[in-house]
Amino acid sequence: MSTLERDPRDGTVQVLDEDGSVVGDIPDLSADELVAMYRHMKLARHFDQRAVSLQRQGRMGTYPPLSGQEGAQVGSAMALADDDWLVPSYREHAAQLVRGLPLDQTLLYWMGDARGGRVPDEANIFPVAVPIASQIPHATGMAWADKLRNGGDTDTAVLCYFGDGATSEGDFHEGLNFAGVFDTPNVFFCNNNQWAISVPRERQTASETLAQKAVAYGFEGVLVDGMDPLAVYQVTTEALAKAKDPGEDERRPTLIEAVQYRFGAHTTADDPSVYREDDEVERWKAKDPIPRLETFLRNQGILDDDRVDAIQESVEDEVADAIDAAESTERPDPESMFDHVYAEQPPGLREQAESFAAFRDEHGDEPFLE
């Protein structure tokens, strides 16, 4: 990826600095596409704020906030072609939104409704993976299968997201090692948000970067400013192109480390004030990807106050509609929780289902509505 502008201090790819000034080559995006990128990020931020509020009000279960990571998620997802696949962890609400997953589906999922996990047929998105790093071998296997099916050639790439904590799991090493050996059309995207719950990045590895781990697997690793959506888009675009058509001396896979920060808690069950200092959070908020992109678009004459206000109003309306849709969805029958755990219900689970049904017959539905 020698065409990318890198920070001479540490090799990080960057297009916009923290003030929104251009320091690298601007990717080939139209004005409409740039506005769409900005709107997706604004929509994701407002959705995130409302989702946290819903959880605090008892209207939704535990929820993993994404604020601060919009640039990495939207920038990378917009680089995907229609036939490419997105393999998320549990925090990629913005990336899935870009790829066509309705917001009310995301809300239903975190409300505990299994129907929230139903991905529309036209959206090439794997189900949410809550176990850490379990999705990485799945993504590698899918990419390998596509390569085998097409006799070694492919027009499809698989983009797999995970956090910095996932790089300490065996699934990470197994998935990337397999990808390197079998030269699969994968892009592995590490959202390095500095904290794996309460464990800091420096406790995950002694390596200077996470991107350099790719060298051990025989392919390229790229370090990118994850709070610069244009840089992320550029890096991911080139990695996807290489996955489908590598050069003569290149390997298909790429490991991208997007350096960023989660402004909020790991989940709404977490208290980050226990392990993070306020001044650290404020330092990273100065790098916020949304005002950074907005400044650039204003300087380019693409955005003005009226258009920014119109976008804000539209995203607020869209999120409000999604909440209404999710909350007006009829709740599933509580007994349905036993239906899809196994293809054939084993005796132990059948006993639990029967015990649950007996309790319900005796006490009614009132205990489940409290």
CB 174 within 8 A of CB 201: no
Report the alpha-carbon distance of residue 128 to residue 86 in Å, rounded.
Answer: 10
Residues that are catalytic:
262, 266, 275
β-partners of residue 160 are: 87, 188
CB 242 within 8 A of CB 236: no
β-partners of residue 223 are: 257
β-partners of residue 163 are: 191
Helices 31-56 and 289-299 meet at what angle, rounded to 10? Answer: 150
Identify the residue whose tokens are 């899935």.
Answer: 96
Query: SS3 for the chain, per residue?
Result: CCCCCECCCCCCECCECCCCCECCCCCCCCHHHHHHHHHHHHHHHHHHHHHHHHHHCCCCCCCCCCCCCHHHHHHHHCCCCCCCEEECCCCCHHHHHHCCCCHHHHHHHHCCCHHHHCCCCCCCECCCCCCCCCHHHHHHHHHHHHHHHCCCCCCCCEEEEEEHHHHHCHHHHHHHHHHHHHCCCEEEEEEECCEECCEEHHHCCCCCCCHHHHHHHCCEEEEEECCCHHHHHHHHHHHHHHHHCCCCCCCCCEEEEEECCCCCCCCCCCCHHHCCCHHHHHHHHCCCHHHHHHHHHHHCCCCCHHHHHHHHHHHHHHHHHHHHHHHCCCCCCHHHHHCCCCCCCCHHHHHHHHHHHHHHHHHCCHHHHC
Interacting residues of 46 by C-beta distance below 8 A, sequence separation 6+:
312, 315, 316, 319
